[in-house]
Structure 1
């Protein structure tokens, strides 16, 4: 893949065409995964009320997008965990640690006022560089 090639990855979310974004974009060695919410295959929120379950779902979706872009979790260099309640960070951290204990990307946890869907407690963004 050359540096000028843009590979767009879709997760099938109905919000992608409406907003005009891709789940992930790869250009050259760089892969950026957009803010990923805990949406199930049925379009509903996975793990309502459960930060850990929602973080796991976000990471599952993000990992699938990475794979479609030709990357793996081992290629991730930065993660961003956005929570509506930062006091619940440890549940999100547990899910993050289960995936990234050996990779140890740069990571930021931030509190946001809310997401598009009030049932979403967390969203995850990833950046990867493929060798």
Structure 2
């Protein structure tokens, strides 16, 4: 089994010592573990004040990490949403449906504090990209 580390270029990754995503390669395919991802635009290190805009940016950040791993949102099998204010979650649903409506991954929402008070949502995903099919004998 080999590992591929993926970075978004975010300063948070170096400061805290983690990767945006880790790909675990094995004979059956690739598991892609994307770290909790917030609504920061990593190019400008800015964040919108609105939970819906942050949700959209989170998912664009996740898409970029998955693309670096040779994967996409279509491969997501599990998603965890963390929001400091659970009452904000329903406002995110239309955006989540836009990204995951055809994928329908297993999901969970947790209400908990986040590292920066500007953060209104953090999203973590696990994806599975199958390896080549093994010919049957």
CA shift, 1:54, in A, is 0.5
Q: Distance in 2 between matches of 1:94 and 1:86?
A: 16
Q: Distance in 2 between matches of 1:15 and 1:51?
A: 20
Flag the structure with higher strand content: 2
- If you compute each CA radius of gyration, which structure gives the higher value, 1 or 2? 2
- 1:31 paired with 2:32, answer yes
CA shift, 1:71, in A, is 0.8
Q: Distance in 1 between matches of 2:78 and 2:10?
A: 23
2:127 maps to: 128
- 1:77 paired with 2:74, answer no
Q: How many residues align?
A: 125
RMSD: 0.9
Q: TM-score, normalised by structure 1?
A: 0.92
Q: Which 4+ stretches in 1 moved above 2 angstroms?
A: none
CA shift, 1:110, in A, is 1.1
Structure 2, gaps ≥5 residues long: 131-137
2:3 to 2, 6, 19: 6
CA shift, 1:66, in A, is 0.5
CA shift, 1:8, in A, is 0.6
Structure 1, gaps ≥5 residues long: none
Offset from partner CA, 1:13-45 (integer Å, 9 cap, x none) = 111122110000000210000000111121121
